[in-house]
Amino acid sequence: MARICPLLLRTLVLLLAFLAAGCKDEIPELIPSTRVRIVIDLALPEFSGLRIPGSVYLAKGEGYRGNGVYIVREAIDENQFSAYDATCPRHIKTPTATVLTGTQATCPHCHTEYELLNYGQSADGNHRLQPYRTDAQGGVVHVHNP
C-alpha cells in the first residue's frame, strides 16, 4: 500500500498539471505595459460624438499592439470619461481587437462581451478590459497610463 500512494500522488499531480495547461486560454492575462498618450479636443468634429453621455470613441492604432483604446463618456458631467484597451485579456497574443457594438466590446475569438459603461467588465464578471487613466478639463480629454 505504501508504494501505491506515491504513485497515485504523482499521477494526480500530473493530471492536475495537464488540466491546468488545458485551461490556459481561460485565464486572463495582464496587458503588458504599453505607453498610451492620447489627447482629444472635443471641439473637433471627429470627436463630437463624445459630447453625448454614454458614447464611445475608438482611438485606432493606440494601446497594446495598436488594437485601439475605447474612450467612453460616462455621465452627464462633462469631465467624466473612462478608457480601456481594446485587447481581450483572454487573448493578448492575438493581433485582433475586440469589436465595438454600441457600448459593448466583443472578442471575436472567445465571444466574451465587455460592457464599457460598467468599468469594462465582462458580462460574466470574470474578466475586465485594461483601464487607462483619463483627465478631462475645458473640453480636452487626456488618456494615459502612469
Backbone angles phi, psi at 79, to 5 degrees: -110, 15
All cell numbers assigned to 57: 470613441
Q: Which amino acid, residue 20? A: A
Share of the chain above pLDDT 90, in %: 66
Mean pLDDT of the chain: 85
DSSP letter at 23 equals: T
3-state secondary structure of 95: coil
**CA-CA-CA-CA dihedral for 12, 17, 19, 25, to nearest 10:** 170
All cell numbers assigned to 92: 493578448
Distance CA 43, CA 64 (A): 27
Number of H helices and E strands in the chain, helices first, is 1, 10
DSSP letter at 14 equals: H
All cell numbers assigned to 145: 497610463
Residue-wise pLDDT tens digits, 95-107: 789 999 999 999 9
Q: What is the pTM of this model?
A: 0.79
Could you tell me which CATH class the domain 30-144 is placed in? Answer: mainly beta
